[in-house]
Every structure is written in structure tokens, then in C-alpha cells.
Structure 1
Amino acid sequence: MAKPMTKTQLVAALAEEMGTDKKAANSALEAMTGLITREVSAGGAVTLPGVGKIYCRERPERMVRNPATGEQFKKEADKVVKMTIAKALKDSVNG
């Protein structure tokens, strides 16, 4: 498996793709990250065309088990961020 792209590499690739400098590409990436964070934190969802949909889902209160001790305890309800991958991306990876 290939190593994941770092933020520096992502900014450089984005700058090249946009035909601009790294500072502008970094600003665009930061703005997009902030926008997604705010929207999902508020309970909304963000669809990135061709990539997928990022959303927040609530998990109910449930019983869980500590694997080390076998002890069961109640875990409070919480929220988890999920992502559904777009069919176009799945097809490009598998095709």
C-alpha cells in the first residue's frame, strides 16, 4: 500500500493543478477544510462531487465490553463522522 499524501504534497499538487502558487492553494485547502468542519459539526452534510458525502451520525447509548478485562459497561450516546464514497471513485479504483 502506498504511503498517504502529506499536506505539503497535497498543497503542491493542488497548486500545480490550479496553476497558482502554493500559498493560494493552501488557503483554498484551509477554507475547504474549515467549511466542511463547520457544516458537519452543525449536523449537516457535505457532498464532494466525484469523491463522496461527509456527514455526522448519532450513535445511541449501548453496552460495550473491555477486551482486556471482559468487564461490560454502558457507553453514552455520541456522534461519529462518516463518509460514503461516491460510485465514480469506487469505479475508477476498481476499473
Structure 2
Amino acid sequence: MNKSDLIEAIAKKADISKAAAERALEGALGAIHGTLRKGGSVSLVGFGTFYVGKRAARGGRNPRTGAAIRIKAAKVPKFRAGKALKDAVN
């Protein structure tokens, strides 16, 4: 499912226009994005939690030359599925 399929599904399920569904989806994604940018987390009970994880600095290799390189530490967005979502998949 891609973004346009998701918008169509939201519009059908909520009985609203596709334009309204797109605005709602963009608003929700924007709120999640903004919260993660500030270092917070977003918990949706029964669905899961979006949070910011930390990846430590590490060594690596340049695949072209084979030379050793240093990969710097980074913050990465992560998602942990909730119990209801896990149960629905299994």
C-alpha cells in the first residue's frame, strides 16, 4: 500500500473526501515528525510507539576502495509495534 492507497482507504473508512483524508494524514504525519524532531515519542495505544533511537559511532569500510572509514553517531527514527498490532498480524 502506498500513500495514495492509504488516503483512499482513510477516505472510504471515515466517509470523507480524499482531500480531507489527505489533509488528515498529512497533519498526523506532521505531528509525529515534529515530535520526533524534538526528541519525543508518540504512543498510539494498540498500534505502537514511534521514538528516536541512537546509533553509536562505528567503523566501516568504503566498498569501492576497501579503506577503513569512521561512521559518525546518529539519531534514527524507530517504531515498536503494540500488542494489538502484533496480534492482528499473527
- On whether the aligned pair clears a TM of 0.5, the verdict is yes
Structure 2, unmatched stretches of 5+, are: none
1:22 to 18, 22, 28: 18
- Give the corresponding residue for 2:50: 54
Provide the residue aligned with 1:84 in structure 2. Answer: 80
In the other structure, the counterpart of 2:7 is 11
Aligned mates of 1:68, 1:85 — CA distance in 2 = 37
Alpha-carbon separation, structure 1, partners of 2:27 and 2:13: 17
Report the Cα distance in structure 1 between the residues aligned to 2:87 and 2:65, rounded to whole angstroms: 43
Amino acid at match of 2:77: V
Q: What CA distance in whole angstroms lies between the structure 1 residues aligned with 2:83 and 2:66?
A: 40
- TM-score with structure 2 length normalisation? 0.87
SS of 1:50's partner is coil
Q: What displacement does 1:67 show?
A: 4.4
Superposed CA RMSD in Å reads 1.4
Instruction: Count the aligned residue pairs.
Output: 90
Query: 2:33 pairs with 24, 37, 42, which one?
Result: 37
Alpha-carbon offset, residue 52 of structure 1: 1.0
Q: Which runs of 5+ in 1 are unaligned?
A: none
Q: Once the 2 structures are TM-superposed, how far is the Cα of residue 74 of structure 1 from its aligned partner?
A: 1.2
Q: CA deviation at 1:50?
A: 2.1
SS of 2:54's partner is strand
The sequence identity of aligned pairs, in percent, is: 42
